[in-house]
Structure 1
Amino acid sequence: MSQLTKRALAASLKKLLARKPLSKITIADITEDCGMNRMTFYYHFQDIYDLIDWICQEEGERAFQGRKDYDTWQEGFIALCHAVIENRAFILGVYRSVQREQVENYLGRVVYGLLLDVVEELSAPYSLPEQDRAYITNFYKYAFVGVMLDWVRDGMQQPPEEVVGRVSRMTRGQLLLAIQNLADSPRP
């Protein structure tokens, strides 16, 4: 029941963002749209930004489903771009209504999960401290999120396959090289 309630609140926010800016949407608007009371909203979320974060996490997880390893990360990233296109009104509503840093944080948490799994997989044969794995993951997260934000800002004109293909070609072998460069030594 809890997930259904969250999804209903998310659907209402998405619907409202297609009609008006985020700054004009209240919790009362969201709950009225989906036939719930305000306390139900607050049972699940602290505020509208918490709901936005939840939506981003859900959409990201759905996009990455089973595509979070070295061989499939490109497919996961493409699926995430397609999810952004499918949720264009929501994404643009959030993008235009909050500071860039908040949008970076929303996308960053989603992309970090994808990249961390890839870094963990590639670093398995090496002695690489957790803080170095996190550092590498964050480094590439900022690059990937920056590319995505530019793509959104430019109206999502390029097909996701082109955007991700270019990122893939530019980073081919670089993640493993970063791991090797920071690793103490290969594990026996």
Structure 2
Amino acid sequence: MAQQYTRKMIRDVFVRMLNDRQLNKITVTDIVTACEINRNTFYYHYPDIYSVLSEIFQTEMQKVIDEYNDTRSWEESLVSAMSFAIKNKKAVYHVYNSIQKEELEKYLFEISGNVMTHYVDTVCQNINASPDDKHIIVLFYQYALTEMLINWVASGMKEEQKQIIYRTGLLFNGNIERSLHKSAELSEK
């Protein structure tokens, strides 16, 4: 229990610092001073700052998985998944402009994939689409959404991402289900 508390405290302090300064300007000394712990305690929990960042993304990803609700649309799920980025725009922007950019891109890719996989599985329950076609549909939307999110981060996250996600959903409404039905038709031939 105390270990979880210490890990969470380190992550929270790290995110606060990341909202104020670039990743390469944050040191273990800064974190342990703010947390009022010693260096050994930090290193007991994490080998370096980058592992703290990685765990933050993993924790946020697990929240998306745990909170997924079959009654939600993919848009609602993606907006929920992006809540960390929306609340911590500067931190995310600082990660994007650091050597850990790939970690952020991987996180966005996994979130998009997770959301789309759950959504396609939910929509497909009564449609006899082939597993290969389901995978192609998920990948298509995963790549499209990931690139959209990366461009949003790269542009400084000035636009209201929630509105863009919902608008995208309106523009492409029904396409996933039509594609799944098409797959079922092709499989029958």
Q: Percent identity?
A: 29
Give 1:118 shift: 0.9
CA contact (8 A) 1:18 1:89 kept: yes
CA contact (8 A) 2:123 2:177 kept: yes
| 3-state SS in 2 of match to 1:151 | helix
Paired residues, what number?
A: 185
Aligned counterparts of 1:135 and 1:38: Cα–Cα separation in 2? 47
2:138 aligns with: 137
Q: 1:142-179 CA deviation, whole Å, 9 max, x = no partner?
A: 21121112222223222233211222123322222333
2:111 aligns with: 110
Change (3 A) 1:40 1:122: farther
Alignment of 1:16 onto 2:14: no
CA contact (8 A) 2:20 2:91 kept: no
CA contact (8 A) 1:122 1:176 kept: yes
The equivalences for 1:84-123 within 5 A come to 84-98=85-99, 100-123=101-124
Q: 1:128-150 CA deviation, whole Å, 9 max, x = no partner?
A: 33x55444323212211211122
2:160 aligns with: 159
Q: 1:40-61 CA deviation, whole Å, 9 max, x = no partner?
A: 4444444333322322233355
1:128 aligns with: 130
What amino acid is the match of 1:49?
Y
Aligned counterparts of 1:175 and 1:47: Cα–Cα separation in 2? 42
Aligned counterparts of 2:97 and 2:148: Cα–Cα separation in 1? 17
The TM-score with structure 2 as length reference comes to 0.77
1:172 aligns with: 173
| 3-state SS in 1 of match to 2:36 | coil
Give 1:181 shift: 4.2
The TM-score with structure 1 as length reference comes to 0.78
Aligned counterparts of 2:43 and 2:119: Cα–Cα separation in 1? 35
| 3-state SS in 2 of match to 1:97 | coil
CA contact (8 A) 1:123 1:179 kept: yes
Stretches of structure 1 that go unaligned for 5 or more consecutive residues are none
CA contact (8 A) 2:19 2:88 kept: no
Aligned counterparts of 1:179 and 1:39: Cα–Cα separation in 2? 54
2:78 aligns with: 77
Change (3 A) 1:53 1:170: farther
Structure whose alpha-carbon radius of gyration is higher: 2
The CA RMSD over aligned residues, in Å, is: 2.9
CA contact (8 A) 2:152 2:161 kept: no
